[in-house]
Amino acid sequence: MPEARSSVYRLESVDKVYKARRSSLFQPATQIQALRDVSFEIFEGESVGIVGESGSGKSTLSRILLGMDQPTRGEVRFRGRSLRGANREVRGRLIRDVQMVFQDPSASLDPKMPVGVAIAEPLRALGIEGDRAARVRELLELVGLPADVVRRYPHEFSGGQRQRIAIARALAPRPRVLVADEPVSALDVSVQDQIITLLNHLRQTLGLTLLMVAHDLAVVQLLCERTIVMNQGRIEEEGPTSTILTAPRSGYAQKLLHDAKFFDLRSDHATS
Q: Which residue has the higher pLDDT, 213 or 105?
A: 213
pLDDT in tens, 47-96: 999 999 989 999 899 999 998 899 999 999 999 999 887 777 888 889 89
Q: Is the pLDDT of residue 232 over 60?
A: yes
pLDDT in tens, 175-209: 999 999 999 888 888 888 899 999 999 999 999 99
pLDDT band at 3 (very low <50, low <70, confident <90, very high): low
Residue 50: per-residue pLDDT:
95
Rounded Cα distance, 167 and 204, in Å: 15
Residue 89 inside a domain? The answer is: yes
Residue 80 inside a domain? The answer is: yes
Chain mean position to CA 83? 18
Mean pLDDT of the chain, nearest integer: 89
Residue 1 inside a domain? The answer is: no
Q: Where are the alpha helices (DSSP H) in 78-188?
A: 88-97, 105-108, 115-125, 132-142, 159-171
pLDDT band at 266 (very low <50, low <70, confident <90, very high): very low
Residue 2 inside a domain? The answer is: no
Long-range contacts of 84-91 (CB under 8 A, 24+ apart): 91/67
SS3 of residue 255 by DSSP: helix
Residue 19 inside a domain? The answer is: yes
Residue 188: per-residue pLDDT:
85
| Domain that includes residue 49, residue range | 7-269
Q: Is the pLDDT of residue 267 over 50?
A: no
Q: What is the per-residue burial (b if ≥16 Cβ within 10 Å, else e) of 149-187?
A: bbeeebeebebbbbbbbbbbbbbbbebbbbbbbbbbebb
% the chain with pLDDT above 90:
66
Q: Is the pLDDT of residue 216 over 90?
A: no
CATH number, residue 134: 3.40.50.300
Summarize the confidence of residues 225-248 as an average pLDDT: 94
Q: What is the DSSP track for 155-168?
A: GGS-HHHHHHHHHH
48 and 224 Cβ atoms separated by less than 8 Å: yes
189 and 220 Cβ atoms separated by less than 8 Å: no
Residue 270: per-residue pLDDT:
43
The model's pTM: 0.88
Structurally, the chain folds into a number of domains equal to: 1
Residue 269: per-residue pLDDT:
46
In eight-state DSSP terms, residue 217 is: H
Residue 21 inside a domain? The answer is: yes
pLDDT in tens, 114-170: 999 999 999 999 999 999 999 999 999 999 999 999 999 999 999 999 999 999 999
Rounded Cα distance, 113 and 83, in Å: 33
Summarize the confidence of residues 5-32 as an average pLDDT: 84
Residue 112 inside a domain? The answer is: yes
Residue 225: per-residue pLDDT:
94
Residue 132 inside a domain? The answer is: yes
